[in-house]
Amino acid sequence: MLTNNSFIYASPPLLHSEYRNQSSFHVRFSNVGKIKELSTIEHGSNRRCKYFNLHQQIVPYTDAWSWQKAVVSRRHTLVEQDEDNSDMLIVLQHSPVYTLGTGSAEEYLNFDVGNAPYSVYRTERGGEVTYHGPGQLVMYPILNLRYHKMDLHWYLRSLEEVIIRVLSSTFSLKASRIEDLTGVWIGNQKVAAIGIRASRWITYHGLALNVTTDLTPFQHIVPCGIRDRGVGSLKELLQTSSNCKTDDLSLMDITHKSLIREFSEVFQLSLDHHCVSDWRSLGRDYQDFAEIVHSDPTCCSDT
C-alpha cells in the first residue's frame, strides 16, 4: 500500500496537550558489552518496540533501505507463525542522497539525473522527491498496524503528531499540519517530511526532521513537489526565534531524546533501546541484519 501527499484526515490523533497525563514515563540504563542499553521506556503493559539508536551515525541510504525490507520480510514470517511480538524503530542520519517515491515525477529534479549532485534512488514509499543528509534525524518505524490501528491516514497523522509535540514541548515552537499536504510546518517552512509504505499492514520508510541540516541541496529539487513553500531546519528557526546559539551535537542529542519520548507516547510503545557503537556491526547484508535484530539484543555488541 502506498501513501501520497493528498490525504485529508478528519479525526487526527490526540494533540500533545491531551496525551500528557495518560501514561507514566521512566528510563532504566544498563550496560551490555560496548552497548549502552536503555532497558525500557515503559507505558504500563504496552506493546514492545526494539529501538536501534544510530542517531549520531551517518548510514548509507541503501544499507538502511535494505535493512528495512529484510525486517519487513522477516516480520511477515513471524506474523504467519503468530510470533510477531514486538515492533521496531531505527533512528539515524544519512549521507547525502535524493530519494523519490514510486510515482515521483522527475520534473521536480532541477538537474540531469545522469549528472546528479548526489545519488538518486527511486523507492517504494509514497510522496515526491526529498533530500536526506547529515544533520537530519531520520526515523524508520517498522510497526505492525494490526496492533495499533489499520488506517494509513491515522498512521501519517500520528507521525506528524510526534514532530509537532517535539517542537512544542522541547523547543516551544508552534508547528502545524497543512490541509491536503503531508508533513510538518512552521509557518511557510517544512521542517519534517514523511513518506511511508505498508506491506500487509507492516510499515516501513518513515519521517525525516531537519535539525542542523545544510539546506543547500534542497535547492536542486522541488522538495516534495511543492513549489510555493520553503524548507526549514530546527537550528535556523531557533536562531531566528530566540537569537540563541546551540552547538550542533547538543541540538541533535536533545532533539533525539525528545523524538523517542514523543514517539513512545503517541504510539503507546515500550522501547527496548539498543545503542549501537558502529552501524557496520549490524551487517551490510540485509539478511544478516534481519537475523541479528531478531536474535538476542546483545548480538549488536561490537565485542
Catalytic residues: 224
Euclidean distance between CA atoms 141 and 122, whole angstroms: 20
- SS3 of 151, please? coil
- What lies within 8 Å, CB to CB, of 238 at 6+ separation is 171, 173, 244, 246, 251
CB 203 within 8 A of CB 211: no
Q: CA dist 122 to 105, 118, 125, 130, Å? A: 10, 13, 9, 11
* Radius of gyration from C-alpha coordinates of the chain: 18
Instruction: Give the C-alpha separation, 83 to 88, whole Å.
Output: 14
DSSP 107: G
Grid coordinates belonging to 302: 561490537
Check if the beta carbon of residue 145 is closer than 8 Å to that of residue 87. no
CA distances from 153 to 207, 256, 274 (A): 15, 25, 30
> How far is residue 23's CA from residue 19's CA, in Å, rounded to a whole number?
8
